[in-house]
Amino acid sequence: MIRRFTNLILIALSITFLTSCNDTPEKVMEDKLEVIDESIQALSDLAEGKLSVEEGRTKFAKLKEEGKKIKEREDKLCSTLSAEEKRALMTKYAPQFAERVRKMQTLSTNLYRSGKMDSALIRSLKYD
């Protein structure tokens, strides 16, 4: 269940990458990483009791909205990149994404095992 949940987050965040006036693919990737970092921090805060489950749901709903906005930027920008440019971009950022996804998996698993992650919280973490 947690692995599936984490995979859904990874897929959603991976899809959510790349335009406003001065937008660049690198800026969009950095914004994606920032949203992931905020998710990691929220999971850490939940684990440490600094954030209630209800506050966690609210936080993840906001992060989901940010992810959707990044996805819109990505969709616009993606159409202007060649396959080679997309591949180079993903190669450049893949290690950073992989590191963060490992952290999210670990935190999610620990929260689930501790009983602090209920089904409503899991649903709030899923990206459409």
For the chain, counts of helices (H) and of strands (E): 5, 0
CB atoms within 10 A of CB 76: 14
The domain locations on the chain are: 2-7+24-125
Which DSSP symbol is given to 18?
A: -
Report, as an integer, the average pLDDT of 27-51.
94
Report, as an integer, the average pLDDT of 105-118.
86
Which has more confidence, 16 or 71? 71
